[in-house]
Structure 1
Amino acid sequence: MTNINRSVRPFCDIAEFIAQETAATTDDFHAAFASNLEGIRIGRGEEEMATDMPDPQEAQLAVELIVTTLFDVLRDTRLQPAAERLAWGIVNSFHHVADQWGAQADKATRDVQDLLRCADGSEIHSVELEQARDTLEFLDEATDALRCMRDYAADVFHTETGRPWSAPKGSLVSSKRTASVIAATDFLAARRLRRNEAHSPQGPVVIFSGGADCWFDERLIWGKLDEAKARNPMMLLATTAQDKGCDAMAAAWAASRKVKLITFRLSAKLGKRAGFVRNEQMVGLRPVEALVCEGSGLQSHLARLVKEKRIPARFVRLSDQKWEAQ
């Protein structure tokens, strides 16, 4: 029988070795994994935890290894087509847990507010308030760290697949993310209420729509969007949020250029009217510019709307594509 000698090394040693061969830890990880807390209790009666936050370098490398190893193992095998879906699920797991911890932080905020409202000056109340504040700070720090890991996992996913990762529904907002993706419903509600800059970013809106089929010239689409950004450096990009074709190219461009993306998805409740209502909502943003690529009747309808509203517009035809781009 063959004897196999294995040398087991702790992950911190592996991380240090990889770090020497690769780029340094990003500033985002150093910022997200910093902590002002020496110890924290989570919940009543629990013992204080005096442990530190994870090492930012190890955290960054762990995230990268989780995603890239999956692609490496499945590449050139029968399971290669499954790699992207599995990796998407990994990023979504980070996203889901970060959302859960964010919700706990929101509840902790309300707890602190309640304690402040009923302050009686007693020592017991002061202790409870101090513990509640520590819990809130801990949850805020932890949520930032989890979001940072999610954002980096999304960046690795983008590098491996050439497509930006996007959440299955709702908004994905993070100052550290390559491109914030804001659901149109959140964006419109925030505009009405002016409740949160993260969900209601300020800036000139450029609306974009295009067909899902027969489009392959990414350089053409990116070039048109680069021209729009040159005219509107602080632009927000609103798209019709299709998963392929022109909209997918536009989403990848937004991620690359760090432009905030507003996604207008179809509402199933509106039936056949959904696409036309969506076009009206996009035009209702009072965009400074529109970019419409040839597609279906919905793109023709949007083109008519922007002309009626006298919105500066650029129209791109399928025939404008370069065949060498295939």
Structure 2
Amino acid sequence: MRSFSTFPDFAEHYASLTSADNFGQAFTAEIETSQLSHHEEPTAADMPDSEAARGCVEQMVGDLFTLFCDTRLAPMAARVAWGMVNSFHKVAQQIAREEDSAARELGELARINDPSEIHALEVEEKQRHCQSLHEALAALECMRDHAAEVYRVETGQPWSAVYGSRTSKSLIASQIEARDFLAARAASRREAHAPTGPVVIVSGGAGWQHHEPIWTRLDCIRARIPSMTLVTTAQRSGTDAIAAAWAAARGVPTVNFRLNRSLGNRAGFDRNKMLVRLAPVEAIICEGSGLQVNLAERCRDAGVPVTIMRDRDFASLAQAAG
């Protein structure tokens, strides 16, 4: 964790954060008027300035570490900052649920064959509401992902949500018919949760703490395969959380393969079979349990290039850095 005696130059300090590149798109108004609630009148107000939004996130989270550093509250900085990132995450989850509800209502209206002007106005209003939520969600998720990167820079650890996913969606064109909008939205959701790019598997123990070798290796793979899709074994800590944080920072789509608990003791091995059936182009497997050993063996048998990372190879480096 950094230590400053004066306030830092935030723009310079966080210049390397790749999530900053996403603000231009996420804060572009895609519809002429926005209506986030049926109880409010449509507004033609602009979206927040993208650079101001980026700077606000950096300063909001970064100032906390500057305030607490070299004080007795320094150990609390990471915990409070985690909550700040989580606030963005929780509001984004709420907006996502509202968008889902609005999309269902829009679908029901779109299926009604009613040529009346009243019905047409109702469809138009519902579509504007749904698209407004979609637009707001993209901005909030962008701010959340950027705040998570600031958290990572300050603490040296990736931020991960306790609950929910961190799948960010891209904005879609606005001036389209209701049914086309829903079809495009569904396609966007499918791509977000089941992307079609070349698959790179990452798996490892929940107690793995060395994020730098994982980020370095993933950066190398992405340089060769820009359209890659990251697939993890969906653990909320350790290797999977580190890889998910990398994907969020780099804008790489992620699929989390959770265990089918109904299979009992076979669940992990069954998941390994499913992962290899995805025909991955590469795998990174960090030291964990017998499940990681099994996955490495299956990948090698399938001819998948595998990078094995063992805790002892990085423990001495971590101690030297500490």
- Is TM > 0.5 for Structure 1 vs Structure 2? yes
Task: After TM superposition, give the deviation of residue 40 of structure 1 in Å.
Answer: 4.1
> Is 1:301 aligned with 2:287?
no
Match of 2:37 among 24, 42, 47: 42
Give matches, 1:59-208, under 5 Å: 59-174=53-168, 196-208=190-202
Contact 1:222 1:253 in 2 (8 A): yes
Q: Which residue of 2 aligns with 1:31?
A: 25
| In structure 2, C-alpha distance between the alignment counterparts of 1:195 and 1:243, rounded to whole Å | 22
Q: State the alpha-carbon separation in 2 of the partners of residues 214 and 123 from structure 1.
A: 60
Q: Distance in 2 between matches of 1:137 and 1:217?
A: 37
**1:12 maps to what in 2?**
none
Contact persistence 1:40–1:50 (CA under 8 A): no
1:199, CA displacement in angstroms?
Answer: 0.9
Residue aligned with 2:196, SS: coil
The one-letter amino acid paired with 2:38 is: G
Q: Which amino acid aligns with 1:296?
A: S
> Identity of aligned pairs, percent?
48
Q: 1:172 Cα shift?
A: 1.5
Give deviations 1:124-146, integer Å, cap 9, x for gaps.
22332232232223222222222
The alpha carbon displacement at 1:156 in A equals: 1.8
Measured against aligned partners, the alpha-carbon deviations of 1:191-239 in whole angstroms (never above 9, x if no partner) come to xx997111111222232334566875944x5555455446645333333
Aligned residue for 2:115, secondary structure, equals: coil
Decide whether aligned partners of structure 1 residues 56 and 279 sit closer, same or farther in structure 2, where only a CA change above 3 A counts.
same
Which amino acid counterpart does residue 292 of structure 1 have in structure 2? I
SS in 2 for 1:37: coil
Aligned positions of 1:252-263 closer than 5 A: 253-254=246-247, 258-263=251-256
* Structure-1 separation of matches of 2:20 and 2:299: 42
Greater CA drift, 50-59 or 210-219: 210-219
What are the residue-to-residue correspondences of 1:213-252 with 2, within 5 Å?
Answer: 218-219=212-213, 221-222=214-215, 224-225=217-218, 228-229=221-222, 232-241=225-234, 246-247=239-240, 250-251=243-244
Give, in whole Å, the separation in 2 of the partners of 1:243 and 1:280: 21
Deviations 1:128-187 (A, max 9, x none): 2232232223222222222222222222222222333233234312257xxxxxxxxxxx
SS at match of 1:237: strand
Rounded Cα–Cα distance in structure 2 between residues aligned with 1:281 and 1:76: 49
Inter-partner Cα distance in structure 1 for 2:73 and 2:280: 44
Of residues 200-209 and 92-101 in structure 1, the stretch that sits farther from structure 2 once superposed is 200-209
Contact 1:217–1:322, Cα closer than 8 Å, also in 2: no
What displacement does 1:70 show?
Answer: 1.9
| Structure whose alpha-carbon radius of gyration is higher | 1
Higher relative contact order (CA 8 A, sep 6+): 2
Q: Contact conserved, 2:206 with 2:235, CA < 8 A, in 1?
A: yes
Instruction: Give the conservation status (yes or no) of the 8 Å contact 2:286–2:309.
Output: yes
Is contact 1:194-1:200 (8 Å) kept? no
Amino acid across the alignment from 1:235: M
- Inter-CA distance 20–49: structure 2 relative to 1 (3 Å threshold): farther
SS at the partner of 1:198?
helix
CA-CA distance at 1:322 after TM superposition = 8.4
Closer, same or farther: CA 59–317 of 1 in aligned 2, 3 Å: closer
TM-superposition CA deviations, 1:31-56 (whole Å, max 9, x none): 33333334648326x54545443343
Structure 1, unpaired ranges of 5+ = 1-16, 177-192
